[in-house]
Amino acid sequence: MNINYTAGEVAFRDEARAFLDQALPADIAAKVKGFRHLTKEDHQRWQQILYKQGWYATHWPEEYGGVKWTPVQKHIWDEESCHYGVPRSVPFGVNMVAPVIIKFGSEEQKQTYLPRILSGEDWWCQGYSEPGAGSDLASLKARAVREGDHYVVNGQKTWTTLGQYANMIFCLVRTNTEVKAQEGISFLLIDMNTPGITVRPIITLDGAHEVNEVFFQDVKVPVENRVGEEDKGWTYAKFLLTYERTGLAGIGLSKAAMSHLKQLASRCIKNGRPLIEDTSFSQRIAKVEIDLTAATISNLRIIAAVEGGGMPGAESSMLKVKGTEIRQAINDLARRAIGPYAIPFAEEELNLDYEGEFLSDQNAAPLSSQYFNNRKLSIYGGSNEIQKNIVSKMILGL
């Protein structure tokens, strides 16, 4: 047993750090570390830098432009990225639809879409959930009817993250109503500029516009935009979900958030002393940091198993539950640390160019919004209740 990185892995970490030191734009890192919203342009600027470095597609085979990293190397990259304030990659193209296209797509689909994902020419979003199909995804109703060489799609998708920026959407649609729910679903790649598609923003409780509803009215989609076989989409969808689930625990993000919390608590004042010196508050931080340490090792155990040729199983569901609870606990403490200043919504201070006086701490403004926004962590990517169902079925056999 040895829980340390090998010499080669340490060398890789140094290489990653050297690259980030030199290539990560300071303004983008400041936004990420200060929990500010990123613009489309911010995402694209960083995507281009990674693309040029050849480090954008970490889940792809080399023949398509991927980078050959081991699971441990991917983990190191993720950790360092979080530490440096790298924008979270928008996963829908590079980490979600691309692996599906690579595994199940036609040669033409690979040649059309993969280079455009790699170069950043296409921005993908996900058309899975519907108003009536959330945890019970297989009950989805969006209908695709075959008419000659195309499908006609009607229906609605929801919770479409950053759909307002996307020009492509991958959708699960019902192509057969005669069979069991899971057996009548197909996987379509749809150009968002096709007539009949409307995107409507959903504003979340913190006032942010991250998610959308997407409406399809008689949208014509060429048959060649179907991935794999008709009615076999559920298989591809499940394959994609395993990619979604890895990384949802957000251990690296929790570590970054924890270090942010400790800095905040050393600046905030209670009883005339830094809050971090307050026994009860420092114990609350300590408890969460201890949980995070345990989750970090759990994460490494899963990664080591994958490195040894295993598949991530229901363990990643357990880790998703723990990891999201930890991140939410950190957000809770950060909000508590600023006391009465959790109440104001000083929107002007969210702008990094703000030059006025801060109401309280320079990083206080986004903390309440972030606490509320991150309630989503235990809901999305398979709610924590669904993750527990997976664990009880797959591991416990209940």
Partner 1 sequence: MDFRLNEEQQMLQDTLARLVRGEYSFEKRLAFSETEAGFSVDFWKQLSELGLTAVPFSEELGGFGGGGVEVQSVMTELGRGLCLEPYLQSVVFAGGLINQAGNDSQKDVWLSGIASGELQAAVALQEPQSFYDLNDVQTRAEKKDGGFVLNGRKAVVIGGHCADLIVVSARTASGISLFALKSDTAGIERRVYPTIDGSKGCDITLNNVHVGADALLGEDGSAGPVIEYQAGRAIAALCAEAVGVMEVANELTLDYLKQRKQFGIPIGKFQVLQHRMVDMMSELEQARSMAILAASVADEEQSDERRRALSAAKNVIGRSGQFISEQGIQSHGGIGMTWEYNFAHYAKRLIMINHQLGDDDFHLERYAFLLQAS
Supply 22's token pair: 């030199």
Q: How many CA atoms lie within 13 A of 164 on its CB side?
A: 11
Closer to partner 1 by Cβ: residue 65 or 344: 344
Closer to partner 1 by Cβ: residue 79 or 244: 244
Q: How many angstroms separate the CA atoms of 19 and 14, rounded?
A: 9
Distance in Å, CB of 8 to partner 1, minimum = 43
Selected range binding partner 1 among 94-102, 141-149, 166-174, 372-380, rule: CB under 8 A? 372-380
Q: Tell me the C-alpha to C-alpha distance, in Å, between residue 281 and each of 78, 101, 269, 340, 374.
A: 29, 49, 12, 16, 21
Q: Which residues pair with 227 in a beta bridge?
A: 187
Selected range binding partner 1 among 36-44, 103-111, 221-229, 368-376, rule: CB under 8 A? 368-376
Closer to partner 1 by Cβ: residue 81 or 164: 164
Q: Give the torsion sign (CA, 80, 84, 86, 91).
A: positive
Selected range binding partner 1 among 39-47, 167-175, 197-205, 253-261, rule: CB under 8 A? 197-205
55 binds partner 1 (CB under 8 A): no
Binder to partner 1 among 93, 120, 127, 134 (CB under 8 A)?
A: 134
Q: What is the DSSP string of 282-302?
A: HHHHHHHHHHHHHHHHHHHHH
Binder to partner 1 among 95, 296, 368, 387 (CB under 8 A)?
A: 368
Binder to partner 1 among 319, 369, 382, 390 (CB under 8 A)?
A: 369
Selected range binding partner 1 among 28-36, 201-209, 227-235, 315-323, rule: CB under 8 A? 201-209
Q: How many CA atoms lie within 13 A of 326 on its CB side?
A: 28
CB distance 348 to 362 below 8 Å: no
336 binds partner 1 (CB under 8 A): yes
Binder to partner 1 among 195, 309, 340, 397 (CB under 8 A)?
A: 340
Closer to partner 1 by Cβ: residue 106 or 384: 384
Closer to partner 1 by Cβ: residue 10 or 205: 205
Helix (H, G, I), strand (E, B) or coil at 216: strand
Selected range binding partner 1 among 25-33, 81-89, 125-133, 162-170, rule: CB under 8 A? 125-133
Other Cβ atoms closer than 10 A to 158: 20
Q: What angle do CA 158, 161, 164 make, to 5 degrees?
A: 95
**219 to 278, contacts with partner 1 by CB under 8 A?**
269-272
Among the listed residues 138, 203, 214, the one whose alpha carbon sits nearest the alpha carbon of residue 173 = 138
Among the listed residues 261, 109, 233, the one whose alpha carbon sits nearest the alpha carbon of residue 171 = 233
Q: How many CA atoms lie within 13 A of 178 on its CB side?
A: 1
359 binds partner 1 (CB under 8 A): yes
Binder to partner 1 among 44, 182, 194, 204 (CB under 8 A)?
A: 204
**279 to 298, contacts with partner 1 by CB under 8 A?**
280-281, 284
Run of H or E including 115: helix 107-119
Binding site for partner 1 (CB under 8 A): 129, 132-136, 139, 158-159, 202-205, 207, 211, 269-272, 280-281, 284, 332, 335-336, 339-347, 359-360, 368-369, 371-372, 375-376, 378-380, 383-385, 388
